[in-house]
Amino acid sequence: MKTTIIKSILLLLVMFTFSCEDVLVNEDPNGIVINDLPPEVIMPGAQTVPAATFISRMNGLGNLMTATWSGNAQQVQAPYFTEFQYQLTTDFYDDIWDNLMARTGNLTQIINNDNAGNYDYFKGASLILRAFYFQYLVDLYGDIPFTEIHQRGNNLFPSYDSQEMVYMNLITQINDAIDMISNTDANSAIDMGSNDVMMNGDMDKWIRFANTIKLRMIVRMYGYAQTNSEASTFVNAEIATLNQPGTAFITSGDDVIINPGYADTNNQMSPFPSTYGYAAGEFGNSGNVTFGNLATGPTIFLVELLDGTTTSVSDSRLNRLYALRGGQSSIQGNTQGGGGQPSRLGPGLLSSPLQDGYIMTASEALFLQSEAVFKGILNSGDAKGLFQEAISSSFARLGANIGNYLTESDNVDGIGWEGTADKLEAIITQKWIDLGGTNGIETWIEFTRTGYPSDMPLPDITNRPNRPIRLLYPTSEYAGNTANVSPFNQTVDTAFETSIFWDVD
């Protein structure tokens, strides 16, 4: 009965949240509802609402900004025309900023909670999850408001913090969260249990997730730290903590997922199938698909990499990521902006209207650890072993038969460890294959950081010589926080020319 009540409150909070359209960066649209509610009630919605943006909009954008997804031009007129022309404006995917900035206010509400009782587990988890989303805000926008966020009427016009300082503050807060969870009085601490729709109150897993986020941030900062003395001192100290005995990360069988009780009804489906799958009650019915399903398929570049055309190695993940459309006899791709009809999204991506949403997959975490060992950031572990474990985890998650793939691909340039001169190329290319459709925004950021996969084609219809490397501050900021955002003087070219601080290559 308690679980049913909590889920009912969650669904009400979610519906209320999405009814608020005009969002200032410092407004918490849930404030009237949650102001006096305890963390047990706030937490499910605080986790679920930003996750919907991450799983659907951010995932989709990243797949379109890299050569993962193309459009079905045979059934949809000019699919993804704005994306493939790189028409980046202050309105382009502005809901990413608006939703992450505002909706994480519920996490801040929990962090600042002063209800009676020991809520250290709730607060620690909220610090970790807020850091997860704010890292993406930095990685996509650069400088952002942070130290003055979520103060509502006390400060409607938050100033911007430098992206480097936000990164360091987030890592410090992750450390604080780990300490809070690890050192609280376990006898008095209120268990999150089913109020935690991500990890069901598994605080050891929250710590592993925290360490993995921290490692990702250190890996991204690592090159920048070689040129900045303050960052170098900070990064070196944090690397030492990551190498302490007993420090654990997300690993095989340890996907970080979310599922508050998704249902096969309108407005309650899992975010990915709701956007890229089927209408409620029609899962698997090819005649009642969403626009995202009808419009979306793989690129020729991806298909040829996986079907053996490029590498001479057949990758069975292809037939899990994508499925035949119409009268096709094999998986087909299209160029971005081309006139063809690509295959549709497959069962490895679309399994159920109730499917878990992925926040961080085990394979992503393992690829990250492989890179960290390869670069000497982590001083224990085997980089190749972690790399191949990540690939195995990818096949398992997608339901693909790995067969002899590890052996057959090992000596192949670009996708195999032994055959690739720059091991980073193999790591990032395999990560791109693995996360295509699952965490597209990560693949776009990683391409910006590393330049891999190499030789990735641009869309047919863009006039730009290179991919965008960031997003522009949204219209809502120029309307609601004008004095603080205007000095950046962004133009369309900013999205292609002004790097995020860690992009030093």
Q: What is the pLDDT of residue 449?
A: 98
pLDDT in tens, 195-233: 999 999 999 999 999 999 999 999 999 999 999 999 999
- Name the pLDDT band for 351 (thresholds 50, 70, 90): very high
Q: What is the largest CA-CA distance in the chain?
A: 63
| β-bridge partners, 70 | 297
Of 136 and 31, more confident: 136
Query: How many CB atoms within 10 Å of residue 404?
Result: 8
Residue 11 has pLDDT above 90, yes or no: no
Q: Which of 161, 132, 163, 141 is nearest to 149 (CA)?
A: 161
- Structure tokens, 26: 């410092």
CA 412 to mean position of chain CA atoms: 29
Confidence of residue 34 (pLDDT cuts 50, 70, 90): low
E strand residue ranges, 320-479: 322-323, 344-345, 357-360
Tokens standing for 471?
Answer: 């997003």
Q: What pLDDT, on the 0 to 100 scale, is given for residue 152? A: 81
Q: If you ran DSSP here, which 8-state letter would residue 289 be given?
A: B
- Report the chain's C-alpha Rg in angstroms: 22
More confident: 151 or 104:
104
To the nearest whole percent, how much of the chain has pLDDT over 70?
93
Q: Is the dihedral of CA 418, 368, 256, 305 positive or negative?
A: negative
Strand ranges, E, within 253-321: 256-258, 296-298
Contact 445, 456 (CB under 8 A): no
Flag whether pLDDT at 20 surpasses 90. no
Contact (Cβ atoms closer than 8 angstroms) between residue 405 and residue 398: no
CA distances from 479 to 32, 388, 475, 483 (A): 23, 48, 6, 10
Alpha carbon distance 39, 107 (integer Å)? 9
pLDDT digits (tens, 9 = 90+) for 407-427: 999 999 999 999 999 999 999
Question: Collapsing DSSP states into helix, strand and coil, what is residue 75?
Answer: coil
pLDDT cut 90: percent of the chain above it? 90
In single-letter form, the type of residue at position 300 comes to I
- The span from the first CA to the last CA of the chain, in angstroms, equals 55
pLDDT > 50? residue 72 = yes
- Name the token pair of 86: 């790189």
Distance between CA atoms of 17 and 35, rounded to whole angstroms? 14
pLDDT tier, 287 (very low <50, low <70, confident <90, very high otherwise): confident
Owner of token pair 């085997």? 382
Mean pLDDT value across residues 100-120: 94
pLDDT at 404 over 50: yes
pLDDT at 316 over 50: yes
Q: How far is 468 from 493, CA to CA, in rounded Å?
A: 9
What is the secondary structure of 169-235 as a DSSP string? HHHHHHHHHHHHHHHS-TTTBPP-GGG-TTTTT-HHHHHHHHHHHHHHHHHHHHHHHTT-HHHHHHH
Average confidence (pLDDT) over 146-170: 94
Cα three-residue angle 245-251-254, rounded to 5 degrees: 125
In the predicted structure, residue 62 carries a pLDDT above the cut 80: yes
Average pLDDT for the chain = 93
Which of 269, 129, 132, 115 has the alpha carbon at shortest distance from 196?
129
Distance of CA 146 to the CA centre of its chain: 19
Pairing of strands 160-161, 344-345: unpaired
Q: Looking at the predicted structure, is the pLDDT value of residue 14 above 70?
A: no
In DSSP terms, 345 is beta-bridged to 322
Q: In the chain, where are the structural domains located? A: 2-262+356-361+439-497
pLDDT at 33: 52
Tens digit of each residue's pLDDT (9 = 90 or more) over 474-499: 999 999 999 999 999 999 999 999 99
3-state secondary structure of 342: coil
Give me the architecture of the 2-262+356-361+439-497 domain, per CATH: Alpha Horseshoe (1.25)
